Chain A
Amino acid sequence: MSSKQIQQLDRVIIRLAGDSGDGMQLTGDRFTSETAAFGNDVSTLPNFPAEIRAPVGTLPGVSSFQLHFADHDIMTPGDAPNVLVAMNPAALKANIADVPLGADIIANSDEFTMRACQRIGYAANPLEDGTLTDYRVSAVPLTSMTVEALRDFDLSKKEAERAKNMFALGLLSWMYNRPTESTLEFLEKKFAKTPVVAKANIAAFQAGYHFGETTEVFSVSYEVKPAPMRPGVYRNISGNLALAYGLIAASKTTGLPLFLGSYPITPASDVLHELSKHKSFGVRTFQAEDEIAGVAAALGASFGGALGVTTTSGPGVALKSEAIGLGVMLELPLLICDIQRGGPSTGLPTKTEQADLLQAMFGRNGEAPVAIVAARSPSDCFDAAIEAARIATKYRTPVFLLSDGYLANGSEPWLLPDVSTLPDHSVEFATAPNHETADGNGEFWPYVRDEQTLARAWAVPGTAGLEHRVGGLEKANGSGSISYDPANHDLMVRLRQAKIDGIARDIDDLEVDDPSGAAQVLVLGWGSTYGPIGAACRRVRARGMHVAQAHMRHLNPFPANTGEVLSRYTKVLIPEMNLGQLAMLVRAKYLIDAVSYDKVAGMPFKATELADVIAATIEGVNQA
């Protein structure tokens, strides 16, 4: 029995940092699972290099995982870690600037050799030379203790050392009083084929846990009580997983078989991986020869009556532009999921950014409007997929679903929806002629439109009597025959635009969170900034100031009440991880002097940073 003192905390931010090969992402995932199962609210931020294995012990090879958990509901993975676990000197050096003075650092002292320290530019061992005196440093020989704990296993020293992340996880699990059953089960399952490795990892994990209990290094363990959460069944979910599940759900809500045409690209590939596992749902996944073939195959499948989807990131969208334009011309459903990353060009493949908004909006030749939907949190990717598919099928149009690297890899607890209550968005195909010829015969005109939605009639191959041709050349409205008539082209351009604009009548109004009703400043956002903006607004309100928040699900068209909402506030502040793309659209459409706050550092906004910007904006308004 441990007789150590347990200290209560309301929230903790832990950052695990190590070499790319040290298993920090896995360790973080496991700690997240334990924490979520315990009932805390949790939010995570993995951060890893684009290189699969950069040279060991170097700064570019550092991979980290930050997680924030609390006894209340939280909106971000946290700004600054209370605890940094540094598996080597490079991990310490790469992360120390983010660690506030007085915070805990647990360092794997075995790796802090002179050579390793000097390799990354430390003149001396920072654990010993006094540079960390303002922090609470616990130097723990994680590697050698792991090797020692696994002495009786039939493993080489190198193999034993690889379990050091589980030793560290065991130690943290003790330190924060986490339930350990799920991790033990996980290890059994993960290494089921190599029982010795499973047993060794479990032994390392338990050794870490017991070390915490017995060592004098740590005199206190911590407890963060469960957060009050709505009743129901929860799981932890990342954005990409939620997106994959959302697409399968969308196949159910629309009643169309799911076809994914995709080409591997960071950070979207996990959606392809996940969907390829679910063939029993009738899901066809096609790993194409390139980005263009991915979207082209999806469009071909849509022509045949499937829910055609392509998943990609910004560089892939650039390649798909022409095919998306074809989708606009054919007026067929097509879902383009853009998991945004830092750009331009190859940019920052593993870092987050939201700078593809204008590409989604305008990145095609001609007047080629498409609908745009954005997810705001990891679990929200599920709902966003269903909504994007609803619009695509109902309006026969390509729809962009914008996510980003932060949502894709970050995770949060998700209150599972009751699948029996998912909406019915089933599609009706044309089955009969819709036009009468001069001689009284019925025929099918593919560009006859629904009066309300302006969506064209959709007849799929295999439907007798409705044979027709579509294509990229301009169509005569109604008949769909090739038409070079100037007036018809003008009409069709306007009809395609009106169809997209009309979606505004069919989407939820923009909701405003303005608890006091006294705010003069509105913070408007979209996508993954929802968490940081929300957390920042809470901080500002806690300072006794008034601020309103609104967050956009639909970016094209904007919700019908957007202009009215914006006009209610003296100042509209738009924080974005780009150089002001939503701000440009809002300023152009509503002629308001919206203020942009932007940053493209490859990382989500910090709540403290945004809170200061919001507070300064409010003060500016008050002084004016």
Chain B
Amino acid sequence: MSTDLGNPTTNGHRHSFDLVPVAETPQSAKEFKSDQEVRWCPGCGDYAILAAVQGFLPELGLKRENVVFISGIGCSSRFPYYLNTYGMHSIHGRAPAIATGLATSRPDLAVFVVTGDGDALSIGGNHLIHALRRNINLTILLFNNRIYGLTKGQYSPTSEVGKITKSTPMGSLDHPFNPVSLALGAEASFVARTVDSDRKHLTAVLRAATEHRGTSLVEIYQNCNIFNDNAFEVLKAPETRDDYLVRLEHGQPIIFGKDATKGIKRNANGSLVLCAGDDPDVLVHDAHADDPSVAFALSRITGADLSTTPIGVFRDVVRPVYDDLMSAQLDQATAKLGPGDLGALLTSGDTWEIN
């Protein structure tokens, strides 16, 4: 898969981590492995994501000491322990808020957030949407397995309606979130989706996400083989995946299916519909479109059986980054007033002297 990199620039910074020092010598995946024993269940999709991230970080080539992974609570949130970078395994749902404080006060750091569907969308939903809206310079990896794993198998905010779990013996009643739709609605400037088992695609999406300055949200469909096994099997099995997956590539027509027989086009009323792969009206994907409505429509096109599941970069647009704006205000104030003088501050306002 090729991902269009485009040339987005924000406040003069071309890339997400322009202010982060670069490693002087080539790095290896091994350098990014910590000495901690990995403790996910055998067969968990998290292993593949960890390997992909460890494999990708040397390509990113940043000084290891300037990379920070922050997580919340849940299976995925153990992630930082297994990377030999700086890291914090924090509290449930709050990783985006903690990362906001770190990223805004330290522009020289590459800050990643690792979270899950429960952590990011249930208990931490508020922080996620506000990080996205502010466009903090963060790369958020949202592992979506549509189940609570660490608490042993309750339904999550992305579980399908009617799911039988320990806490919903008669089926869950909750209508699920679609994380991509949610992120787009929360003013996200970069939203992508990928799958744990497709390392090549996952790596390409990570590459695109880290090239974007601002908040990048990457939803990763991840298999929980203990509590929700094969939840995304149709997207992975060789016999079904080509008919179910829609690989979005910027500037390319949206065509899918085994023999590229299917396509997506826009109706006169703006809605998206399936069409033949060779239909002259097949939609050309524009991840850089300022108007998010097509990206949103693409996020809604998937059926309950995961048919027509787009993966790839839905949206990648340039928008001012909170961290840059905050730093600019500090610079502006200092340029105007000079560096702060505490003595002068204390004597501002009415003073009087007693002799």
Chain A residues near B80 (CB, 8 Å)?
A: 469, 471
Interface pick from B63-71, B210-218, B252-260: B63-71
Report Cα–Cα, A417/B345, bound state, in Å: 12
The number of inter-chain residue pairs (CB within 8 angstroms) is 207
Report Cα–Cα, A248/B339, bound state, in Å: 13
Query: Closest approach, in angstroms, between the C-beta of A529 and any C-beta of chain B?
Result: 27
- Do A289 and B340 contact each other (CB < 8 Å), given the known contacts A279-B334, A469-B34? no
Asked if B101 is an interface residue, CB under 8 A from chain A, the answer is yes
Q: Mark B73-109, 1 if CB is under 8 A from A, else 0.
A: 1000000110111111111001001111111111011
Q: Tell me which of A293, A304, A422, A462 contacts B97 (CB under 8 A).
A: A293
**Are A234 and B353 in contact, CB atoms less than 8 angstroms apart?**
yes
Chain A residues near B73 (CB, 8 Å)?
A: 472
**Are B347 and A235 in contact, CB atoms less than 8 angstroms apart?**
yes
Interface pick from B52-60, B279-287, B325-333: B325-333
Asked if B349 is an interface residue, CB under 8 A from chain A, the answer is yes
Asked if B355 is an interface residue, CB under 8 A from chain A, the answer is yes
**Are A293 and B126 in contact, CB atoms less than 8 angstroms apart?**
yes
Asked if A517 is an interface residue, CB under 8 A from chain B, the answer is no
Interface pick from A3-11, A165-173, A210-218, A294-302: A294-302
**Are B84 and A467 in contact, CB atoms less than 8 angstroms apart?**
yes
Chain A residues near B104 (CB, 8 Å)?
A: 259, 284, 286, 297, 301
Interface centre among B63, B108, B330, B332 (most CB of A within 10 A): B330
**Are B87 and A470 in contact, CB atoms less than 8 angstroms apart?**
yes
**Are A37 and B126 in contact, CB atoms less than 8 angstroms apart?**
no
**Are B101 and A461 in contact, CB atoms less than 8 angstroms apart?**
no
Q: Mark A227-244, 1 if CB is under 8 A from B, else 0.
A: 001111111100000000
Q: Mark A275-312, 1 if CB is under 8 A from B, else 0.
A: 00011111110101110110011111111111010000
**Are B127 and A231 in contact, CB atoms less than 8 angstroms apart?**
no
Report Cα–Cα, A39/B342, bound state, in Å: 24
- Do A322 and B91 contact each other (CB < 8 Å), given the known contacts A286-B100, A293-B130? yes
Chain B residues near A209 (CB, 8 Å)?
A: none
- Do A462 and B102 contact each other (CB < 8 Å), given the known contacts A36-B350, A280-B337, A473-B89? no
Q: Tell me which of B34, B102, B352, B355 contacts A301 (CB under 8 A).
A: B102
- Do A289 and B337 contact each other (CB < 8 Å), given the known contacts A278-B345, A461-B86? no
The residues in B between 24 and 64 inclusive whose CB is less than 8 angstroms from any CB of A are 34, 36, 63-64
Report Cα–Cα, A228/B63, bound state, in Å: 62
**Are A304 and B106 in contact, CB atoms less than 8 angstroms apart?**
yes
Chain B residues near A219 (CB, 8 Å)?
A: none
Asked if B338 is an interface residue, CB under 8 A from chain A, the answer is yes
Report Cα–Cα, A238/B86, bound state, in Å: 41
Q: Mark A310-335, 1 if CB is under 8 A from B, else 0.
A: 00000000000011011000100000
Asked if A245 is an interface residue, CB under 8 A from chain B, the answer is yes
Asked if B354 is an interface residue, CB under 8 A from chain A, the answer is yes
Contact size class for A? 35 or more
**Are B102 and A300 in contact, CB atoms less than 8 angstroms apart?**
yes
Q: Tell me which of B98, B329, B350, B353 contacts A300 (CB under 8 A).
A: B98
Asked if A588 is an interface residue, CB under 8 A from chain B, the answer is no
Q: Tell me which of B81, B87, B333, B349 contacts A482 (CB under 8 A).
A: B81
Closest A residue to B348 by beta carbon equals: A235
**Are A308 and B101 in contact, CB atoms less than 8 angstroms apart?**
yes
Number of residues on chain B facing chain A (CB within 8 A): 59
Closest A residue to B100 by beta carbon equals: A297
Query: Closest approach, in angstroms, between the C-beta of A127 and any C-beta of chain B?
Result: 35
Q: Tell me which of B86, B101, B347 contacts A467 (CB under 8 A).
A: B86
Asked if A118 is an interface residue, CB under 8 A from chain B, the answer is no
**Are A279 and B330 in contact, CB atoms less than 8 angstroms apart?**
yes
**Are B130 and A301 in contact, CB atoms less than 8 angstroms apart?**
no
Asked if A221 is an interface residue, CB under 8 A from chain B, the answer is no
Chain A residues near B90 (CB, 8 Å)?
A: 296, 326, 471-472
- Do A284 and B326 contact each other (CB < 8 Å), given the known contacts A292-B94, A419-B346? yes
Asked if B151 is an interface residue, CB under 8 A from chain A, the answer is no
Asked if A257 is an interface residue, CB under 8 A from chain B, the answer is yes
Report Cα–Cα, A466/B349, bound state, in Å: 46
Query: Closest approach, in angstroms, between the C-beta of A197 and any C-beta of chain B?
Result: 21
Closest A residue to B322 by beta carbon equals: A286
Chain B residues near A249 (CB, 8 Å)?
A: 342
- Residues of A in contact with B (beta carbons under 8 Å apart): 33, 36-37, 39, 182, 229-236, 245, 248-249, 252, 257, 259, 261, 278-284, 286, 288-290, 292-293, 296-306, 308, 322-323, 325-326, 330, 416-417, 419-420, 422, 461-473, 481-482
Write 20 A-B pairs (CB below 8 A) sorted by A numbering.
Answer: A230-B354, A232-B353, A234-B353, A235-B346, A235-B347, A248-B342, A259-B101, A259-B105, A296-B91, A296-B101, A297-B104, A298-B101, A303-B88, A306-B101, A322-B94, A330-B88, A416-B346, A461-B109, A469-B34, A472-B73
Known pairs A236-B349, A472-B90; list 16 more (Cβ under 8 Å): A182-B350, A245-B345, A248-B342, A249-B342, A259-B105, A261-B97, A280-B333, A288-B100, A296-B90, A301-B101, A301-B102, A304-B106, A419-B343, A462-B65, A469-B87, A471-B87
